[in-house]
Amino acid sequence: MDPALVRLGSMVQNRYKYFRWTKRTARITFVYAAVIPAIIGYLGYQNDGLWDLRAKRRGDIISER
């Protein structure tokens, strides 16, 4: 087997042992755990009820406003 692949597999399995909180990892975690869900929630809230896709036929308007 390729020694580099064996080393990669070992690193992936033991990643939790060598993880450290740094400014970079804290920033990335904050973005994925708070910023992105907040943006998706805001966009969902803004578009709630704006589109009605049920029982539409050709020529009907999608927008309800």
Nearest-angstrom CA–CA distance, 16 and 13: 8
| 55 phi, psi to nearest 5 deg | 55, 40
Give the domain range for residue 49. Answer: 20-65
Global confidence as pTM: 0.61
Please tell me which residue, 40 or 61, carries the higher pLDDT value: 40
Q: Per the domain annotation, does 43 fall within a domain?
A: yes
Band (pLDDT 50/70/90 cuts) for residue 60 is confident
Q: Per the domain annotation, does 7 fall within a domain?
A: no
Q: How many domains does the chain have?
A: 1
The pLDDT value recorded for residue 55 is: 75
Whether the predicted pLDDT of 30 surpasses 80: yes
Q: Per the domain annotation, does 12 fall within a domain?
A: no
Q: Per the domain annotation, does 40 fall within a domain?
A: yes
Whether the predicted pLDDT of 49 surpasses 90: no
Where does 1-65 have alpha helices with state H?
A: 3-13, 15-18, 23-30, 36-46
